Every structure is written in C-alpha cells, then in structure tokens.
C-alpha cells in the first residue's frame, strides 16, 4: 500500500486539534530555528496535538543549557548539540521529545560538518522494532558527502527487513526540484528501500516554495496519515506521520502527601507523651538513636497523618489565555488558506497574527509572573515555590571539563589537569624577582623554630555545634516534614 501520489496539498495541511484526534502513534519533525526562546510554544504545541515523538532540528543548544531547562512534563528528551563540528560554527543541534510511556533503546548521536543525526530504537509489544532517526544536513555541506555518511551510519546500525524505519529531518534538498542533489537523494532512497512521503512544499516564502523537510519510511502499509501543520514557530512547516497502532497510555503523575483531614492535635500529643522513649535516650551511639526514633515516631505519624496519593495535573503554561489561543488559531488558518490560494492577503494576515501572538505571549507571561509574586510576597514558602516554576533551581552554566579542547577520554582529562597544575609553581616562581649578591649581604635572617600546639577545648563552644548537628539530623529524617517535627516538639517540652 502506498499513499496516493496526486493528493491535493490542502488536504495534507492539518491543525493541532486534527492531529490530536488521529488514532495511532504520531512521529513529527520541525526545524525550530532556536529552541530556548520558543520552548513555551513547543509546550503548547505538544499539549494541543498530543504528539508521541517530536524531533526538533537547529535547536542552537550548547553545554551551558541544562536538560532541566528544556524539560516538558509528560515527555522525556534526547539531545545532540552541535559540539562535534570542527569548523566551530554555531547553530545546528537536534533534540527528541517522546512521551514518557514509551521506552527507547540503542540511542546514539553523531554530529559532523556534513550531517547531524540522532538515533533511537522503539520497541513495541507484539510488533517489529521501529528504527527512528532525526537528521539535519547543513546547507553549506556537500550533499554527496552527507548522503554517503548517512549510508555508512545506516550500515553501522545494521538495519534489516526486520526493522520498520522512520527517518525525519531537514535535508536541505528540494524534493520538488529537478536538481542533481534531488537525483542523488532519490538514488539513496532506492538503495535503502525507502520512500519519501512528504512531496509538497514545507517551507514557503514570498519568493519560493520548497520541500526540504522529509520523512522516509520503508513500509507505507503501517501508516494511516501524513501531512504538515503550521504552528508558526519558524518558516518551516511541521511534518508528521501516524503509525497504525493504539497509543500507549500515558502514565498518570501521582505524589504522596500526608492526609490531615482527621488529624487531632490533642490526641497526637497524648500519644507522644505516653510513648516510651527510653530506647532512644539510652542508645549508645547517635545512629542507633536516630534509627529507633525513626521507627517509633514514624508509627505515630502514620497513625494520625496517613499517606495518601494525589494526581498531579501539570499545567505547562498557566499564563495561556483565550486571546493567545485565538491568535494561534488565526495563524494556522491563514497558513492553510495561503497554501490553497497564495495571495498577499493571507500572507500578511499570517505574519501579523504570528507577530501579535508573540507580543501577547510576552505580555501574558510578564503579567502572570508579576501577579504570582505579589500574591505570595508575605508567604516565603509559596513565594519560592512559585519562583522555582519560572527559573530552574539546578541550572548549570559551567563548562564541563570533558568539553574543554575536545577532550573525551579519562587519560586526556588527566593529562590536561596534570599540565595545568604543574605549571602553577613555574608561573609563580617567574613572578618572584631574582636576588642579587648585594641583596644577600644586606639581608639579615632570623631563625624562628616552628611552634605547634593545640588550643584547649571549651565545652560551651562544642554544645552549639552538637546541637546544630542534631537539628540537621532531625531535618534529614525521611517522611517527616518540618511542620510534623515542630508539632511534636512543641507538645513534648523539647525532648
């Protein structure tokens, strides 16, 4: 089975809502042209379309951006930044967002001057494994060299007829043209027994309409739909294909919290006072005392404040309003109409709605942050919780040692560190002026033997330190929040 070769282009342009209603596993690709400043839009796109696998090319990421800054609830990610190119050009990079209900194996990435790839194998129950690959060919790379390297990578992956293949990416070769590059691409597809399923323009400008975003598959019968949509994130359209198969159910995110619905402070205090704590107070060492306390106090807490599970409904972008969503819908509408009837009216409306949506998004985010901070300005706990939603707490902006000078092996890192520290003494000695004979004659040296002694320990100085350590130990006890410990401490006289 093959897709009809003469389909109307307008029939292949969809909306996010239409993609969400499609039954099957959705694989998609988009040339994002800088991800970090469009991350909110990607969150909205995934929420509205419910895609399972989304490759993004030209992410422009580097080691200064940590994975936590790119995280999207409900999705895992794999990334391949442009760090292996020898020409030191910026840009490039690939990332894959995939639903956390799927598991990938045999992942790898290769980044060279002529081709960037991100590989993974998807294993589904009672089905052949699917070999996934997101690729990007820089426009200045030689197409013959890039395709030859692609063939070598496919050979190294040991692809066979027992695998279903889905390759998605931006090859920067117009499949609608009659160029030598297109001929070489067709020969590559034939040699790999692959077919290009996107054959209409994916990048439309005022002066051109090209099909440079491709999807290669080896078995059309397994796929029900394919097409494009215009999310307005770049001058490229998003391309997608839908595998005929029921989707895996996404895991519900749940957390455990203490239930205070039937909590009685007086009853809790009475049980604490009636409990025999001698096994804790007579313990011979601190570890034994902490372990006994953990067991006894934990049983009391579980009795009065039992655990319960609640489902967390993550809101990726709580600042979204109907005003912003209407502008996004307007952009998608005029983008589809422009495909049907390329005219200046729809083109201008498409660009205006995109610009207005970007301006409205910034205003809504600014107002949401300002309102949230003002709401909790008198409650530090809730204030910091709100701040952590805007700025990740473990942002890592330091350069990793393994990335310095292209070092990847342990021996290279050790050699670098040895050379660096061995030069410290030489650099310091070079700054010390050389003494002359006149300086030595006029210099009088007085020998003072070293004195080593230990100061007397005062018990009053030790008590605060020990008390601080015990307080830290209380805070580190698992399952007991500070409010529980404070409540227990206030009703036992500080024992």
- Neighbouring CB atoms inside 10 A of 151's CB total 13
Task: Dig out the tokens for 47 from the structure.
Answer: 């929420």
Q: CB-based contacts of 13: which residues, under 8 Å, 6+ apart?
A: 227, 228, 229, 230, 237, 335, 336, 339
Task: Dig out the tokens for 38 from the structure.
Answer: 């469009």
pLDDT greater at residue 132 or residue 337: 132
Report, as an integer, the average pLDDT of 371-398.
Answer: 67
Question: Count of alpha carbons within 13 Å of 83, Cβ hemisphere only?
Answer: 17
Give the integer Cα–Cα distance in Å for 378 and 368.
17
Least confident of 7-11, 247-251, 262-266, 455-459: 7-11
Least confident of 42-46, 47-51, 123-127, 395-399: 395-399
Confidence band (pLDDT; 50, 70, 90) for 314? low
Least confident of 25-29, 152-156, 446-450: 446-450
DSSP codes of every residue in 39-64: HHHHHHHHHHH--SEEEEE-----TT
Which domains can be identified in the chain, with CATH numbers?
9-243 (3.60.10.10), 254-311+457-490 (no CATH), 322-390 (no CATH), 401-431 (no CATH)
pLDDT digits (tens, 9 = 90+) for 43-61: 889 988 999 999 999 999 9
Q: Is the pLDDT of residue 41 over 60?
A: yes
Res 125: pLDDT: 86
Q: CB-based contacts of 436: which residues, under 8 Å, 6+ apart?
A: none
pLDDT greater at residue 97 or residue 449: 97
Res 390: pLDDT: 63
Question: Count of alpha carbons within 13 Å of 191, Cβ hemisphere only?
Answer: 13
pLDDT digits (tens, 9 = 90+) for 80-96: 998 755 455 567 899 99
- Give ∠ CA 329-334-335 in degrees, rounded to 5: 95
Res 212: pLDDT: 94
pLDDT greater at residue 409 or residue 401: 409
pLDDT digits (tens, 9 = 90+) for 68-78: 889 888 899 99
Q: Is the pLDDT of residue 6 over 60?
A: no
Helices (H) and strands (E) in the chain, counts: 15, 16
Res 451: pLDDT: 54
Task: Dig out the tokens for 50 from the structure.
Answer: 């419910």
The alpha carbon dihedral of 462, 467, 472, 474 has a sign of positive
Confidence band (pLDDT; 50, 70, 90) for 285? confident
Q: What are the CA-CA distances from residue 258 to residues 31, 306, 338, 481, 491 (Å)? A: 45, 6, 55, 9, 20
Res 187: pLDDT: 93
Res 213: pLDDT: 95
What is the gyration radius of the CA atoms in the chain, in angstroms? Answer: 31
Res 147: pLDDT: 93
- In contact, 42 and 32? CB cutoff 8 Å: yes
Res 150: pLDDT: 93
Q: Is the pLDDT of residue 377 over 90?
A: no
**Average pLDDT in the chain:** 79
Task: Dig out the tokens for 35 from the structure.
Answer: 């991800």
The percent of the chain in helix, strand and coil, each rounded to the nearest 5, is 45, 20, 40
Res 370: pLDDT: 84
pLDDT digits (tens, 9 = 90+) for 15-40: 888 999 999 999 999 999 999 888 88
Q: Is the pLDDT of residue 161 over 70?
A: no
Give the integer Cα–Cα distance in Å for 58 and 81.
9
Q: What are the CA-CA distances from residue 16 to residues 147, 331, 335, 487 (Å)? A: 32, 12, 13, 51
């Amino acid at each position: 089975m093959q897709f009809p070769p003469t389909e109307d282009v307008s029939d292949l342009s969809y909306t996010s809502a239409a993609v969400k209603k499609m039954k099957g596993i959705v694989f998609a690709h988009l040339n994002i042209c800088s991800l970090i400043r469009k991350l909110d839009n990607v969150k909205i796109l995934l929420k509205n379309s419910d895609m399972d696998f989304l490759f993004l090319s030209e992410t422009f990421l580097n080691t200064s951006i940590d994975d936590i800054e790119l995280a999207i609830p409900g999705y895992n990610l794999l990334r391949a930044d442009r760090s292996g190119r020898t020409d030191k050009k910026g840009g490039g990079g690939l990332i894959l967002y995939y639903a956390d209900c799927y598991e990938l194996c045999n992942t790898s990435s290769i980044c060279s001057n002529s081709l960037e790839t991100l590989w993974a194998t998807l294993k589904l129950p009672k089905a052949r494994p699917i070999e996934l690959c997101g690729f990007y060919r820089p426009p200045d790379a030689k197409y013959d060299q890039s395709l030859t390297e692609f063939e070598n990578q496919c050979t190294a992956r040991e692809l066979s007829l027992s695998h279903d293949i889905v390759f998605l990416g931006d090859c920067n070769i117009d499949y609608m043209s009659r160029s030598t590059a297109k001929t070489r691409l067709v020969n590559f597809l034939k040699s790999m027994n692959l077919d290009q399923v996107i054959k209409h323009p994916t990048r439309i400008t005022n002066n051109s309409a090209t099909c440079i975003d491709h999807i290669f598959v080896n078995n059309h019968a397994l796929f029900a739909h394919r097409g494009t949509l215009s999310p307005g994130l770049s001058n490229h359209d998003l391309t997608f294909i839908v595998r005929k198969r029921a989707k895996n159910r996404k895991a519900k995110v749940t957390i455990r919290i203490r239930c205070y619905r039937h909590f009685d402070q007086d009853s809790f205090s009475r049980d604490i006072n009636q409990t025999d704590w001698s096994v804790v107070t007579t313990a011979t060492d601190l570890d034994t005392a902490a372990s006994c306390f953990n067991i006894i106090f934990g049983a009391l807490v579980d009795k009065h404040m039992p655990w319960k599970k609640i489902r967390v409904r993550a809101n990726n972008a709580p600042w979204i309003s109907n005003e912003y969503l209407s502008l996004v819908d307007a952009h998608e509408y005029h983008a589809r109409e422009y495909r049907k009837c390329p005219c200046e009216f729809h083109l201008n409306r498409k660009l205006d709605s995109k610009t207005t949506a970007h301006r409205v998004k910034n205003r809504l985010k600014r107002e949401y942050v300002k309102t949230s901070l003002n709401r909790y300005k008198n409650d530090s706990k809730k204030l910091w919780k709100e701040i952590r939603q805007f700025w990740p707490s473990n942002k890592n902006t330091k350069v990793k040692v393994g990335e310095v000078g292209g070092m990847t092996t342990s021996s290279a890192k050790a050699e670098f560190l040895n050379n660096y520290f061995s030069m410290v003494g030489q650099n310091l000695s070079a700054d010390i002026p050389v003494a002359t004979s006149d300086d030595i004659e006029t210099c009088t040296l007085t020998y003072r033997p070293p004195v080593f002694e230990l100061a007397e320990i005062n018990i009053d100085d030790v008590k605060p330190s020990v008390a601080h350590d015990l307080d830290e130990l209380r805070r580190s006890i698992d399952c007991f929040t500070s409010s529980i410990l404070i409540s227990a401490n206030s009703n036992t006289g500080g024992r």
